[in-house]
Chain A
Amino acid sequence: MLSRVAYSLYWMSRYMERSDGILRLLRVNYAYSQDEYKQLSWRPVLRIFSTMKPADKIKIQYQSRTVLKFMIANKENQNSVLNLISNARENARSVQDNVTKELWQCLNEYYHQIRQNHVEISLHKDDPISVIDSLVTRGMHYYGTFEITMARSEGYYFMNIGKYLERAIQSVDILDVKFSEVDYSLEETTDPTYWKFLLLSISGYELFLKSYRSALDSTNILNQIIWNDNFPRSIIYSVNRLQKSFETLKSDKNSESYKALSRMIGRLESDIRYTGIKDLHEHGLKHYLHKIKKELFAIADAFNLYYFAFK
């Protein structure tokens, strides 16, 4: 496969994963804001997904609709869902012959839907959840079409690499921001509702109840989001999938590149797997999360260097 094509597929997939993550987070946060008697701050959401200046974040942190419009339909915000979908589509367009026609149509329809003016208008005056749901459904349509129609060849695996790398980064980011709001404390003093909505926003609440019964404390939260092999948004699951997809790229023709990346991914995977809550108490959660994030970024850089270097 052409390096340029692999690069475009990888980014298309990352943008789609990111847009899905953002939409789910926004949906739950908005619902939460309707539930609370005290005002809910959108600052953590803005911290995870936007490069807005801190002062501006504080300015709009209590204005749900302004934040929703900014995060979904704003053209200036490079991480708005609108721009992410446009980017994903632009990437797909440049490699149209390498994705199935169905998948291309799916992205194309999503793009045309989100570009309509009434998205922004509805976010301003109607029920935002309906708007977000209709977009999330588009995303699900994309994921389904991706799984059902794409041939299990290199392109598919590069897309998976993008998807799981992005997901791992997101999960680390979400933990980082949410825990930084409580000073990375591992003590069990935080309001359980706070954790409940965190889990809801990454579709992990039901699994959590089944796995840990009802104890909504920070230890169980970390267990679920970092180490739960059965939770599709946990860091270990994402890294594991990343590793599996990567292993399919092995061939005689690129053994050097393969070895270099294989070592990095393998090291990260075991590092996560063989760390426990006890180690976090010893070395600090903040340090640990930042270390994982740094390694994920290093893996992304290595892909650029070894697999996508077409310049």
Chain B
Amino acid sequence: MNTNQLFNAYPTDSKVWDEMFSSTEVREPYKRILHFLNQLSGDELNQKEEMARRLFMSQGVTFTVYSSGEGIEKIFPFDIIPRIITSTEWEFIEKGIKQRLKALNLFLNDIYSNQFILKDKIIPIDMIYSCEHYLREMHNLKVPNNIFVHISGIDIIRDTDGTFYVLEDNLRTPSGVSYMLENREITKRIFPDLLPQNFVKPVNDYPQILYKNLAALSPRHNSNPNIVMLTPGIYNSAYFEHSTLARLMGIELVEGRDLVVDSHRVFMKTTRGLVRVDVIYRRVDDEFLDPLIFNSDSMLGVAGLMSAYRKGHVAIVNAPGNGVADDKATYIYVPDMIKYYLNEEPILKNVPTYKLDDPNQREHVFKNIENMVIKKTDASGGYGMIIGNAASQQEIIDYKKVVVENPRKFIAQPIINLSSSPCYIQGKLQPRRIDLRPFALFGKNEIEIVPGGLTRVALKEGSLVVNSSQGGGSKDTWVINDKI
């Protein structure tokens, strides 16, 4: 296959920012890889795609879908064409995320102690108290080093004119970082030499940074703290990620049933008796953490864990209660938080967002519904949302009814034309919409973000939903040095 066949039919849309092609030409950062791709035949590209699929399969980078009593292994779809970000763009994103996280972390410290931001009426009180993820149990609890959001994934998108926006803050148990690491490993195999030739910044020190941060939280001051990763178990869809991170950090992967609390201290059950645990990186949601405090039916957590935490005998990462800060209604106030706590102008913009419990805004949204996305404030994974121009009349009527019943639970945003990136699909390059989730690690002294993150792709033609549960895939993400 020659260049013409691979690229000629590539459709561009003036309303969508394409990462590789401007209206007239190929963008600078993509020139080198495009030149490389042009030298490959269609067969060679297909072979590379097949090789990537096989590598994922044999390494068990899969998630299991259970149907008719039998587990079916699926791989998280991977597109072989990398997404490229220049270091200039990256520095801007990085600065914006760090600023945002600083403010969000201050907000959490404030909201679970003095609540100045409520007293100064920057954020309405009822919005906080009506938030399901606001945990009274966290009140006046001193978290180690005043850090709540140790690990976060801030979703970034790009609108028609190329401006970056923050779409969502994920501050609870964001997943996807293992795919960022695996995607890079696969690229090394399918495109030998291409990474160094393009001056791509490495991502592989993520586990070491995370480990260093976790170790710094140990309540016991010994040289070798016992850090564990708490997983819901093998049936969790992110289990692969849990085991990968545990392995890369060399820490024990535990389930709730492996732990026990005695005299407000946490222990794990080993073949040689009980061993004290210092730090828990938990991938279990707040409500399942401790059956004595939260959901009493939970089998995933550990009875007494919160009391050990409150006494400072164990560190929990991320801190419980972060959900109040990444609630989609709180999102609206993040720019205000940045001004309030940091006295700075926000670097990264928010997507304009309407509160549906305000009757005027609601009316505006309903009137212009064909240009709107309505989302549930407490949902994620692309569930519970409706896209105005893609839904049927009936679906819209039904959805409106639900919104009116409990408007606090919904927000609306204008439909953003996520930027597109070429994907290798059925033998040719086709544009598909993408977002970006960089992973930030909030340590004692600084916030560190490995360059890049996970680029998620909506693989269905025309779709704007990138979530893996809704048919999304991913790409390797390169931050390339454009200053040499």
**Contacting pair A90 B234 (CB below 8 A):** yes
Which of A247-255, A276-284, A292-300 is the interface stretch?
A247-255
Per-residue B-contact encoding for A58-73, CB less than 8 Å = 1, 0 else = 0000000000000000
Per the bound structure, the CA–CA distance linking A105 and B269 in Å amounts to 28
Q: Are A2 and B234 in contact (CB under 8 A)?
A: no
- A109 — nearest CB in chain B belongs to which residue? B58
A104 to B70, CA, bound (A): 21
Interface range on chain B (Cβ under 8 Å from partner): 20 to 34
B273 lies within 8 A of chain A by Cβ: yes
Flag if A310 contacts B60 (CB, 8 Å): no
CA distance in complex: A221, B253 (Å)? 47
> Inside 8 A of B57's CB, which chain A residues have their CB?
108, 112
Interface string of B28-58 (1 = CB under 8 A from A): 0000000000000000000000000000011
Q: For chain B, what secondary structure do more than half of its interface residues adopt (helix, strand, loop), or is it mixed? A: mixed
Does any Cβ of B come within 8 Å of A93's Cβ?
yes
Selected from B251, B258, B273, the residue in CB contact (under 8 A) with A254 is: B273
Mark interface residues in A97-123 (1 if CB within 8 Å of B CB, else 0).
110010011001100100000000000
Task: Tell whether A32 is near chain B: CB-to-CB under 8 Å.
Answer: no
Contact with A along B58-76 (1 / 0, CB 8 A): 1110000000001001000
Distance between B334 CB and nearest chain A CB, rounded to angstroms: 36
| A93→B60 contact, CB < 8 A | yes
Say yes or no for B255: interface residue by CB 8 A criterion: yes
Q: Which of chain B's residues 74-97 have a Cβ closer than 8 Å to chain A?
A: none
Distance to closest chain B CB from A129 (angstroms): 26
Q: Which residues of B contact A104 (CB under 8 A)?
A: 60
A3 interface contact, C-beta 8 A: yes
Please indicate the chain A residues that have their CB under 8 angstroms from the CB of B157 in the complex. Answer: none
Q: Is the CB of B60 within 8 A of A253?
A: no
Which residues of chain A are near B258, meaning CB under 8 Å? Answer: 2-4, 310
Which of B57, B60, B244, B273 is packed against the most chain A CB atoms within 10 Å?
B60
For the complex, give the distance between the alpha carbons of A311 and B271 in Å. 13
A-B interface contact total, Cβ < 8 Å: 69
Shortest CB–CB separation between residue B371 and chain A, in angstroms?
45
For residue B207, give the distance in angstroms from its CB to the closest CB of chain A. 12
Q: In the complex, are the beta carbons of A310 and B243 less than 8 A apart? A: no
Question: Does A183 sit at the interface, judged by CB under 8 A?
Answer: no
Q: Specify which of B58, B243, B269 is in contact with A97 (CB 8 Å cutoff).
A: B243
Once A93-B60, A94-B234 are accepted as A-B contacts, the answer to whether A253 and B243 lie under 8 Å apart by CB is no
- From DSSP, what is the main secondary structure of chain A's interface residues? helix
- Contact call A254/B243, Cβ cutoff below 8 A: no
Contact of A2 among B59, B244, B247, B270 (CB under 8 A): B270
Evaluate whether A94 and B233 lie within 8 angstroms (CB atoms) in the complex, with A2-B270, A310-B257 already known: yes
**Is the Cβ of B243 less than 8 Å from the Cβ of A4?**
no
In the complex, how many residues of chain A place their beta carbon closer than 8 angstroms to a beta carbon of chain B?
29
B234 touches A1 (CB 8 A): no
Per-residue contact bits, chain B 92-135, to A (CB 8 Å; 1 contact, 0 not):
00000000000000000000000000000000000000000000
Chain B residue numbers with a CB within 8 Å of A96 are 60, 243-244, 247, 253
Find the B residue at minimum CB distance from A99.
B247
- In residues 266-287 of chain B, which contact A (Cβ within 8 Å)? 268-273
B271→A3 contact, CB < 8 A: yes
Q: In whole angstroms, how far apart are the Cα atoms of A209 and B59 in the complex?
A: 43
Known: A105-B59, A109-B58. A6 touches B271 (CB 8 A): yes
The residue of chain A having its C-beta at the shortest distance from the C-beta of B239 within the complex is A93
B228 → chain A, closest Cβ, in Å? Answer: 9
A154 at the interface (CB under 8 A from B): yes
Is B271's CB under 8 angstroms from A97's CB? no
CB of A307 within 8 A of chain B?
Answer: yes
Q: Which residues of B contact A3 (CB under 8 A)?
A: 258, 269-271
Query: Which residue of the partner chain A has the closest CB to B274?
Result: A253
| Chain B contacts for A75, CB-based, 8 A | 70
The closest CB in chain A to the CB of B73 belongs to A112
Are B60 and A2 closer than 8 Å at their CB atoms? no
Supply 16 A–B pairs (Cβ within 8 Å), ascending by A.
Answer: A1-B272, A2-B271, A4-B255, A4-B258, A90-B234, A93-B60, A96-B60, A96-B243, A97-B243, A97-B252, A98-B253, A101-B59, A105-B59, A251-B272, A253-B273, A308-B271
Name the 9 nearest CB pairs between A and B, nearest first.
A96-B243, A97-B246, A97-B247, A253-B272, A108-B60, A97-B253, A94-B234, A6-B271, A253-B273
B: which residues have CB within 8 A of A?
57-60, 70, 73, 233-234, 239, 243-244, 246-247, 251-255, 257-258, 268-273
